[in-house]
Amino acid sequence: MLQLRVCIDVDDLDRALAFYTQALGLTPGRRRGSDWVELLGASSPIDLLARSPGSPPYPGASSTRDYRRHWTPVHLDFTVTDLDAAVLRAQAAGATLDTGIQTFPWGRMANLADPFGHGFCLLEFHGRGYDALADP
């Protein structure tokens, strides 16, 4: 069976550790010096990787790491039971709210960005959650 690990590049490991533990209630696991820390408490471990701004993501890359607000086709969704409280907690830890809280047939969602420019969503499911959208 495949297991998923999520890796998030950041330019300041200690600041990222503080953000993700305060904003989402994750807890530190293993750590290697100042360039890697594992976060536990989600359905998959999250690895924070310290990488310098301007460094290439792989050898020969035409672009470099940039920690200003950016868009990527892959982002993280975190499910919460109290969206309003979770948004306030994330903002207090340094997140920015990209849009107001939105309501859908499956629940509510907030689009945010961490202090490193990475977008993420907080989801609060209601009733049948995503099953409300599925074909019978």
Contact 9, 117 (CB under 8 A): no
- Which domains does the chain possess? 1-54 (3.10.180.10), 69-136 (3.10.180.10)
pLDDT of residue 112: 97
User: Taking Cα atoms as reference points, which of 111, 114, 113, 131 lies closest to residue 122?
Assistant: 111
pLDDT tens, residue by residue, 30-66: 999 999 999 999 999 999 999 999 999 999 999 999 9
Q: What is the mean pLDDT of residues 84-109?
A: 97
Q: How far is CA 24 from CA 28, 53, 79, in A?
A: 12, 24, 10
DSSP characters over 70-115: ---S--EEEE-S-HHHHHHHHHHHT-EESS--EEETTEEEEEEE-T
